[in-house]
Amino acid sequence: MSESTIILRSARRKRTVALHVQPDGTLCVQAPLRTSVAWINRFIESKTAWVARRRARAQEKAARPALIVEEGAFVPYQGQPRRIRLVAEDAAVESDEIFLPLPAGLSDEGRLVEAQTELTLWYKRQARRVFAKRMAYWAERLGLRPSRLIVTAPLRQWGSCSATNDIRLNWRLIMAAPELLDYVIVHELCHIPHKNHGRAFWRSVEAAMPDAKALRRTLRAWENSGHQHC
Ligand SMILES: [Zn+2]
Query: Other C-beta atoms within 10 Å of 85: how many?
Result: 16
Which DSSP string do the residues of 124-154 spell out, in sequence order?
HHHHHHHHHHHHHHHHHHHT---SEEEEE--
Confidence tier at 93 by pLDDT (50, 70, 90): low
Tell me what pLDDT residue 230 has. Answer: 40
Highest mean pLDDT among 33-47, 85-99, 147-161, 209-223: 209-223
Q: Let me know if 15 is exposed, middle or buried by CB neighbors in 10 A (0-12, 13-18, 19+).
A: exposed
pTM score, whole prediction: 0.67
* 101 pLDDT above the threshold of 80: yes
pLDDT for res 103: 83
- CA of 217 from ligand 1 middle (Å) equals 14
Q: How far is the CA of 196 from the centre of ligand 1 (A)?
A: 7
Q: What is the pLDDT of residue 4?
A: 82
Domains of the chain: 5-63 (no CATH), 74-225 (3.30.2010.10)
CA of 184 to the centre of ligand 1 (A): 9
**What spacing in Å lies between the alpha carbon of 27 and ligand 1's midpoint?**
26
Kindly state the DSSP code that residue 3 receives in the 8-state scheme: -
Give the range with max mean pLDDT: 56-60, 92-96, 211-215: 211-215
Q: How far is the CA of 44 from the centre of ligand 1 (A)?
A: 29
Q: In the prediction, which pLDDT does 183 show?
A: 97
The chain-wide mean pLDDT, for the chain, equals 86
Q: In the predicted model, is pLDDT for residue 52 greater than 80?
A: yes
